[in-house]
Structure 1
Amino acid sequence: MTERPRRRQARGEQRMAEILTAAAEVFARSGYEAATTNAIAAEAGISPGSLYQFFANKEAIARALADRFVTRMRAAHEAAFTGSDPADLSLPELLDRVIDPIIEFNLANPGFKALFARPDMPAGLAEAARPIQEALFARVTAIVAVRAPALSPAERALTARVLIQVFQAMVPLIIAAPPEERPLLTTELKHLLGRYLAPLT
């Protein structure tokens, strides 16, 4: 008796994942404002009515995508830091460990930049983006605390905000560059952040 509901639940979860993947592609291609639920449904190969069985509107899809992106970003950073302590790494090694996974994450998730890595985020996305921003801020603040223990909590928070703003300003440039230019731009980003951090640490 329980196998059939489980199969239906698994099919439902798979369909939701397919809709989110399709939405990420549509958001990346068209931008959040121009994207429509009809276009997302077409990308997913389903009818708009089927989409509405899972998501009430475009903002609900964006919020679900935010949850997916938070999970993937945390997994990328956990993998990057497994087996190492930020305090034991040189500054260049630390920047490699922090920056490379986020660049790879953005390349692997094109819808992320279209939704959450933009200075003019629509008001409807602000709430959905909060978990991503909090996760990134917590990670960077923790690293600053390890590397610059003499800084006060307020100074750590300020340093983290500056690092994140500089990083977010450069990421779209790196992602939009031809593949052969991305390593050079990524290296320049690391040099920039390293010059800012070095006197503090």
Structure 2
Amino acid sequence: MTEAHKNLALPALQKRGRDRQQSLLDAAEALIVERGLEGFAMADVAKRAKAAHGSLYQFFASRTAILVTLHARHIERLKAALAGASAMLKAGSARPPPKVFLEAYLAPLQAFMEANPAYRILRLGMPEDWEGAGQEAALDSGLVTELTNMLAWLAPEAPAATRNLSAQILLQVVDALFVLNVSDDMKAEATRLLEMYLGDLAGRYAGGAFGEIA
């Protein structure tokens, strides 16, 4: 094989490697949902992915490595979902009512949780000092910053400290709703209370009216 052919083959090999890694992560996620964090071995992951046992170790040195990588994939998907929600709100020319603002964040979270059921198990079942803890802290910090900025659309005159505190409250309540998998009735009631809270914030600092932003 010539050097030029090697260069052409490299991207294909890299893609196959990425595809194989993703199939292994998909297999691990399915096993976590079925059996929990401790209910499977490395051999089970390889068998579920229809991969050679030895090839698994080319990508992951241990079960912990699989769990950390899987969680990192969850984090990236969650960040992308929420970034899309933020972009939609920013694209609007009018300040969104509290209900629209809240739905814009709850909808992608709900869709993410339904598409990634192992995320909840990982969040609740891993020790606090595991490698994913830092990812969670960074994600939460980024979401608070994003929500703080977005709350300026609801209450542009509110002090930054007030918007930051409101963002933290929103994040903690929504996190509990989805990660703890509370009942639909409780979600509906919590959503109603959050909508009231945002309405009060907007009324106090934005003159109580919604419309075009100058």
TM-score, with structure 1 as normaliser = 0.79
Q: 1:74 aligns with which of 56, 76, 79?
A: 79
Aligned residues: 193
Deviations 1:108-142 (A, max 9, x none): 111111113x3x64121312433433343333222
Aligned counterpart, 1:38? 43
**Amino acid paired to 1:104:** A
Q: Note the residue ranges of structure 2 that are not aligned, 5 or more in a row.
A: 203-214
Secondary structure class of the residue paired with 1:53: coil
Aligned counterpart, 1:16? 21
Aligned counterpart, 2:54? 49
Aligned counterpart, 1:137? 144
**Residue 164 (structure 1) shift:** 1.5
Alignment partners' CA distance in 2, 1:28 and 1:136: 26
**Pairing 1:115–2:116 present:** no
Structure 1 or 2, whichever has the larger Rg, is 2
Alignment partners' CA distance in 1, 2:89 and 2:33: 34
Alignment partners' CA distance in 1, 2:9 and 2:121: 38
Deviations 1:142-170 (A, max 9, x none): 22343234444443333222222211222
Alignment partners' CA distance in 1, 2:140 and 2:53: 31
**Pairing 1:7–2:8 present:** no
Instruction: Return closer, same or farther for 1:185/1:42 CA change in 2, 3 Å cut-off.
Output: farther
Alignment partners' CA distance in 1, 2:165 and 2:116: 28
**Amino acid paired to 1:32:** L
TM-score, with structure 2 as normaliser = 0.75
Q: 1:28 aligns with which of 27, 33, 42?
A: 33
Cα RMSD over matched residues?
A: 2.7
Instruction: Return closer, same or farther for 1:77/1:41 CA change in 2, 3 Å cut-off.
Output: same
**Residue 173 (structure 1) shift:** 5.5
